[in-house]
Amino acid sequence: MVSIVGAGPGAADLLTVRALRRLGQADVVLYDNLVSAEVMALCAPDATLIYSGKKYGDHVDPRQRQQEINEAMVAYARQGKRVVRLKSGDPFIFGRAAEEIRYLTAQQVPYEVVPGLTAGLAAASLVHIPVTERNHSNAVLLCTAHTANYDFEQLDALANMLRTGTTLVMYMGLSNMPQVVAKLQAAVGPDAVYVSAISHVSGSQQRLVTALLPDIEAALAQAALPMPVVFIIGKYACSLDEAAAHLHSLS
């Protein structure tokens, strides 16, 4: 059995009970780059821990790295090992769980998926941003700043959805923020749109920066937020605490 497990956004106490159980039972854990040390500390003491991460700036062919991960899962499972493939957030949110499942199926290796709390939605809750709220925003879209081919074709469509009131939860956008801002600003025009950037979601170093769309690049440059960063973008994408403080200052 291979268990494809969501590690959540980082804090160990945001794991599901099932994920915690699988980590304690595992003989082998293949873990991603963004899995926190706090979560890794919950693995069985005698488990074999194998780093299988892929991150921005790596000079490694991601297809080759993924093939190595696929083959390792199958090899250890066929040795009778209890294998955990540990992914940050939720396995099906901008991960390669689908590819891994197809490979396991082709190799006739049984598997299960243990869901995890995705960083984008966790970030919204932790900093008190209601990504959906009655009479304000009735839709939320999980997206990335670029496609798998590292182009920006989808930004036009995202910008139009933003203009109609959809809240965007955007992953992998920090290094591409100039392109994102330019496209979104062209679509929304003078409408007030907030951007909230949350770094190290749920960790002890979590930080929040919020600014209006035209000002977010300057705010990010001043704050120098470290990766990983999740962005929440929309007409109401500021925390309830900040909104209340603003209203108080006007009264």
Q: Which residues are catalytic?
A: 32, 54
Q: What is the DSSP letter of 220?
A: H
Q: What is the DSSP letter of 131?
A: S
Calpha distance 112→82 (Å, rounded): 12
Calpha distance 131→235 (Å, rounded): 10
How many residues are there in the chain?
Answer: 251
The CA angle 29-30-34, to the nearest 5 degrees, is 110
Calpha distance 153→146 (Å, rounded): 8
Q: Residue 100 contacts by C-beta under 8 Å, 6 or more apart in sequence? A: 4, 66, 69, 70, 73, 85
| Half-sphere exposure (Cβ direction) of 232: Cα atoms closer than 13 Å | 29
Position of tokens 């199926």?
105
Calpha distance 238→194 (Å, rounded): 6
**Cβ 143 vs Cβ 168: under 8 Å:** yes
**Cβ 39 vs Cβ 8: under 8 Å:** yes
Whether residue 228 has a cis bond before it, omega within 30° of 0: yes
